[in-house]
Structure 1
């Protein structure tokens, strides 16, 4: 979305204002819906997705056909087309994901802290929904369902904007969600499609409480520069695997292969392989042959190309999220050089070290600045579902307020509730002030002594 000096579309502005007003009203009501109501609605969504499988797949076929034509024209990448595609197995995975969200513990109403200020005067910090969350996401249609499901479970209203590549798929999935939740507050979920609607939404900081953009760093920066709403960004995944001198090389080869080949189109796939110079000659030839047999286009720095015959890596390669069967390899002197490379070129998403030396693993894991850092495991594990979060609205590469895969907890905030019995501040001030007890009781908040 570039800057424009044309007159705003007043119809789009009015429509966006109205859906934001409806979302705000719905959020206040949804926050008071009990867990059983929210879970029942989620199960209804799962059933609706299964029931409308044929309709969803037909719509997706239209999106995929258009995307493949643009791929042939050189405008789209194969990775984008792969992310876009749905099939019967994927539909079942989406429905099961919604059910897994319903099975998560209720994130609302939890007493996070309790403190007695004085006898009969008790303070509680309790988890509550954020309110109205807006999200702009890429071409994966399943992202729409994940985000809507997590918003519903956490009691938030949600405004959804998917990529135009998945427009037909998103419309049918959205209709299935709305039809299945007709008993919920009207407007709890809204779908927008025009870029102008996104621009207008970013101006509504009095109604929208959080924006979650998923996309390139440039796009996330655009959102941050054009709104006063708090932004929780999901940017590129420039992920690394470092094979240390003390790695189990057989295991390391399997992990490095999985991290690239198992599903290269996603943000937690590895893009750069770092290899300790002492194991490069023993490790790289067989692994590179394995990569190339799987269709991976391998590039390497000068030291790598002394060991294996691959294309040269450029400076740009170290800063590129390929999202495809492409990989760059760099030979390093030690774990410290690996950490330095990751921190210079990584996107703070997910990094992994393969080593049997626990001290080296600790050096790498504490030294790398990333939301997730693994030891002897594939970067592909960086996922809300695999983390046991049910699903994720995205993977936050920032540090505030949530980091890594953002599930239900990342969609909540808290309120302070104070329970008293006519207590006055005057009692605790002046010469005869009564001291606060500031005792921390083992208590849960609940009106009426619940």
Structure 2
């Protein structure tokens, strides 16, 4: 069957050819390429910042016109603070990670002269579609290269100039290393919305789509491609404060989970409180800490009544829809529950299977919660904001997955490899084995005997 040619098809085909070349690149060559990328990024910092300032100037007009949210605008900026230095250090961190490919995860002797191995290999070609965050260009490109994958990037239009410069810098860095074995087409970028639809049809060449963005973006991708999608649509995370909670911990964790970075998918959107805590100042202490942090509390009738004495105009009525809402702002839905079982039931019904936390000093209660909550991450006495590939020690992350196949939670290098089976024989044929014939040994192979 002939494949028609188009600019997008050519990009996808080039990525496939690059991914084949990457299969035989050594870990040393990968690290050399990553360090070269870091060097060139640093050398061309002014060029990158100029593009980012241009994007921010255009985005400010979009915010004023109500066409771009303030949370997306915040994610766009890579000039202020130490964000650019963090991007550079993230590249170095990835070089320090183990190569996830060529690892033997199973070795079996089928017969004396027939061995079977399961070996980790790159997924192949990744398509990453994301909004606002231009650092994703660097993070995902470097993670893809370290794991032996080619990547096609499509960023949001609000960061067009920054994304284009970052991708160009990465390609130039790869092109400057003639001996690396990594073609510059291992990292490519597309810029128009029309390209997305065309790329989602390239299941012949693209192996996995990784969306990072809004619920509507992820849902659109999931509904419009045959390519496997690794990602999550919502980040509706909850913090449950148990009757046996240390209230100082509860206040500290709740404030961090909500306000450390409200626009992130691992920020808490729901606060669940054990009913007994309303009978003392415990709940008021946590609520006051959140109010002091400028958080609006959308409460059901019971918790709202308990907070009436605080006299705050930031304590307002909640609706049922609020408990299905990813606010991405200084807003939190508050509900009272009778016990940990009701907390689990609420989270499993209303949550997004991302990350949920319990605050308690009771180990049995914590274990019940962490066992029964159906989420990629379940935490005990810790903020949901720890759900992040960098904080997990992955160097950076491709994204967060709420899938139950292949990869789950923050996805780093291990989520970018799959496996293949290799058999090493000596003229063996399947017809020699079976009832009344030779029997399979099915013996594990010791590491010292492995031929890989």
Q: 1:235 deviation in Å?
A: 1.9
Q: How does 1:309-348 map to 2 (within 5 A)?
A: 309=308, 310-348=315-353
**Mind listing any 5+ residue stretches in structure 1 that lack a counterpart?**
1-10
Contact 2:124 2:149 in 1 (8 A): yes
Q: Report the Cα distance in structure 1 between the residues aligned to 2:26 and 2:50, rounded to whole angstroms.
A: 36
Pick from 48, 59, 66: which aligns with 1:56?
48
Contact 1:215 1:236 in 2 (8 A): no
Contact 2:237 2:352 in 1 (8 A): yes
Q: 1:276 deviation in Å?
A: 0.7
| Secondary structure class of the residue paired with 1:99 | helix
Contact 2:300 2:317 in 1 (8 A): yes
Q: 1:88 and 1:53, CA in 2 relative to 1: closer, same or farther beyond 3 A?
A: farther
Report how many aligned residue pairs link the two structures: 436
Pick from 390, 400, 404: which aligns with 1:395?
400
Q: 1:229 and 1:306, CA in 2 relative to 1: closer, same or farther beyond 3 A?
A: same
Runs of 4+ in 1 over 6 A off after TM superposition: none
Q: Report the Cα distance in structure 2 between the residues aligned to 1:430 and 1:283, rounded to whole angstroms.
A: 71
Contact 2:272 2:334 in 1 (8 A): yes
| Secondary structure class of the residue paired with 2:232 | coil
Q: TM-score, normalised by structure 1?
A: 0.93
Q: Which moved more, 1:254-263 or 1:207-216?
A: 207-216
Q: 1:291 and 1:430, CA in 2 relative to 1: closer, same or farther beyond 3 A?
A: closer
Contact 2:171 2:184 in 1 (8 A): no
- Deviation per CA, 1:126-169: give whole Å up to 9, x if none: 00011111111121111121111110000001011111111111
Partner of residue 156, structure 1: 149
Contact 1:22 1:186 in 2 (8 A): no
Contact 2:250 2:286 in 1 (8 A): no
Q: Report the Cα distance in structure 1 between the residues aligned to 2:306 and 2:52, rounded to whole angstroms.
A: 45
Partner of residue 6, structure 1: none
Q: 1:438 deviation in Å?
A: 1.0
Pick from 161, 174, 195: which aligns with 1:168?
161
| Secondary structure class of the residue paired with 1:253 | helix
Partner of residue 4, structure 1: none
Contact 1:124 1:445 in 2 (8 A): no
Structure 2 residue 174 is the aligned partner of structure 1 residue 181: yes
- Deviation per CA, 1:367-416: give whole Å up to 9, x if none: 11110010000000000011111111100011112100111111111111
Q: Report the Cα distance in structure 2 between the residues aligned to 1:440 and 1:271, rounded to whole angstroms.
A: 48
Partner of residue 265, structure 1: 263
Contact 2:255 2:293 in 1 (8 A): no
Q: TM-score, normalised by structure 2?
A: 0.93
Partner of residue 312, structure 2: none
Partner of residue 411, structure 2: 406
Q: 1:88 deviation in Å?
A: 5.0
Q: Report the Cα distance in structure 2 between the residues aligned to 1:93 and 1:417, rounded to whole angstroms.
A: 40
Q: 1:429 deviation in Å?
A: 4.5
| Secondary structure class of the residue paired with 2:128 | strand
Q: Report the Cα distance in structure 1 between the residues aligned to 2:170 and 2:384, rounded to whole angstroms.
A: 32
Structure 2 residue 37 is the aligned partner of structure 1 residue 38: no
- Deviation per CA, 1:23-74: give whole Å up to 9, x if none: 0100000111111001111111122222222222221112222222222222
Q: Report the Cα distance in structure 1 between the residues aligned to 2:273 and 2:350, rounded to whole angstroms.
A: 16
